[in-house]
Amino acid sequence: MPQFINDPTLPKPSFPGSHLVIDDHYVFISGLTVADLSNGDAARGDIREETRLIMRELERMLVQEEGSLADVVRVDIHLANLKNISNVDAIYAEFFEPGRYPARTCTESPTICGGASIEITLMAKRAKRD
């Protein structure tokens, strides 16, 4: 049976959804932007720093569920300006082992919630439970 979880360190979603949905096999994390993070305001407008903060938060959320970024199988990235993809890729790649990158989609979404430049969502395989 899926668990629907809101992370107590993040603002409650302003949409009808959950921060995380966990089932027996996967962890699904809703899209995050710097607008969702308490330390995100200072980074807004700096695509590299926005990417770094969001990836660190996603990593923290996975660790909290006894996982890691090594367990990620799919990532969706939405950029306010697709021309920023090379800056995003430079930071994004730092969070994964070379050659072991998740399947990924990247789209341009000119209006991202909270005036952010990037939103990232992911799906990760859950660790085997005894």
- The rounded radius of gyration (Å) of the Cα atoms in the chain is 14
Q: What are phi and psi of 46, to 5 degrees?
A: -105, 95
Residue from 88, 78, 76, 87 nearest 124 by CA? 76
Which pair of tokens denotes residue 4? Answer: 């629907």
Residue-wise pLDDT tens digits, 78-93: 999 999 999 999 999 9
Q: What one-letter code names the amino acid at 76?
A: D
Domains of the chain: 3-125 (3.30.1330.40)
Burial of 5 (0-12, 13-18, 19+ CB in 10 A): middle
Which residue stretches of 5-108 are H helix? 47-64, 85-92
C-alpha distance from residue 49 to each of 23, 25, 54, 56, 118 (Å): 31, 31, 9, 11, 10
Residue-wise pLDDT tens digits, 3-55: 999 998 888 888 898 999 999 999 999 999 988 887 767 777 889 999 999 99
pTM of the model as a whole:
0.92
Query: CA 84, CA 68: separation in Å to the nearest integer?
Result: 26
For position 15, what pLDDT does the model report?
Answer: 82
C-alpha angle 72/81/71, rounded to 5°? Answer: 5
